[in-house]
């Protein structure tokens, strides 16, 4: 990424900066996966370096763990941390109820485990991730490699009669071979186009043999921070039913994220 911030870069930057306002010295934090979460991780590294903040972090992927250590954060296992004060992560989609689709980066299993082991989950996103109805983004489902094609067929059968507009289940690939998660599993991306009842589909997916977890995060996220290209940030907090608007003055020479790839 070059030195000049694009509008999307600026949106991610201001969302990440706003999320750091909720971080306090001594906290145990869950660190999400993906380009937006990476900005938050780098902001934390700045705070540790410049302000002497003491933080203990649990990463949701090997990639995030590597970045966190690179910027000077202390990374431990979830077993060592035991419980977290706050998890901050990105999202692929979110709706008005703060239901999410996650897993575009392939870390949905660890992300869901870490989020549910936290007092609070906060999502940071640019405005494009907000949708009226979940489903335009393919729904990731993590499955065991053994019999993955059979699992995909069972999923497609289960979707008959569900409130969806598509039932295609596509094995995620990385070049000529299946994409493999940090836990050694495969991902099936479900092209549903519309998810009328996310709670029901989430429950039904997890009853299918071979399915480990799905990318629907329901009743997990407490707060969504949405960044905009003009520096505006909106914060919606379900814990106290509040909404706030903030503004940041973002200059291109403020870019501390030159080495982070989108």
What residues are labeled active site? Answer: 111
Tell whether the torsion through CA atoms of 197, 60, 79 and 238 is positive or negative. Answer: negative
- In DSSP terms, which residues pair with 192 in a beta bridge? none
Which tokens sit at 135?
A: 């489903």
CA angle 123, 170, 128 (to 5 degrees): 30
The whole-angstrom separation of Cα 122 and Cα 246 is 16
| Residue among 26, 41, 70, 46 at smallest CA distance from 254 | 46
The whole-angstrom separation of Cα 139 and Cα 228 is 25
* Under 8 Å between Cβ of 13 and 227: yes
Looking up tokens 């870490």 gives: 114
Looking up tokens 């596509």 gives: 170
CB count in 10 Å sphere of residue 242: 10
Q: Is 86 left (phi over 0), alpha (psi -120 to 50) or beta?
A: beta
Buried b (16+ CB within 10 A) or exposed e, 181-206: bbeebbbbbbbbeebeebeebbebbe
């Amino acid at each position: 990424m070059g030195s000049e911030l694009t509008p999307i870069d600026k949106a991610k930057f201001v969302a990440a900066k706003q999320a750091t306002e909720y971080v306090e010295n001594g906290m145990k934090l869950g660190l999400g996966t993906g380009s937006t979460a990476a900005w938050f991780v780098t902001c934390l590294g700045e705070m540790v370096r410049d302000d002497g903040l003491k933080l203990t972090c649990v990463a949701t992927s090997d990639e995030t763990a590597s970045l966190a250590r690179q910027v000077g954060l202390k990374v431990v296992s979830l077993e060592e941390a035991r419980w977290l004060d706050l998890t901050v992560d990105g999202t692929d989609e979110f709706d008005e109820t703060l239901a999410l689709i996650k897993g575009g980066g392939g870390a949905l299993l660890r992300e869901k485990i870490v989020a549910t082991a936290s007092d609070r989950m906060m999502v940071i996103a640019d405005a494009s991730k907000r949708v009226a109805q979940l489903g335009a983004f393919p729904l990731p489902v993590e499955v065991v490699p053994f019999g993955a094609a059979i699992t995909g067929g069972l999923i497609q059968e289960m979707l008959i009669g569900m409130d969806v507009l598509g039932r295609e289940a596509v094995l995620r690939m990385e070049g000529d071979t299946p994409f493999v998660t940090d836990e050694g599993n495969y991902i099936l991306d479900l092209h549903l186009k519309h998810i009328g009842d996310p709670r029901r589909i989430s429950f039904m997916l997890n009853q299918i043999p071979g399915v480990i977890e799905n990318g629907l995060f329901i009743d997990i996220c407490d707060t969504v921070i949405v960044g905009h290209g003009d520096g505006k940030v909106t914060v919606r907090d379900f814990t106290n039913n509040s909404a706030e608007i903030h503004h940041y003055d973002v200059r291109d020479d403020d870019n501390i994220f030159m080495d982070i790839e989108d």
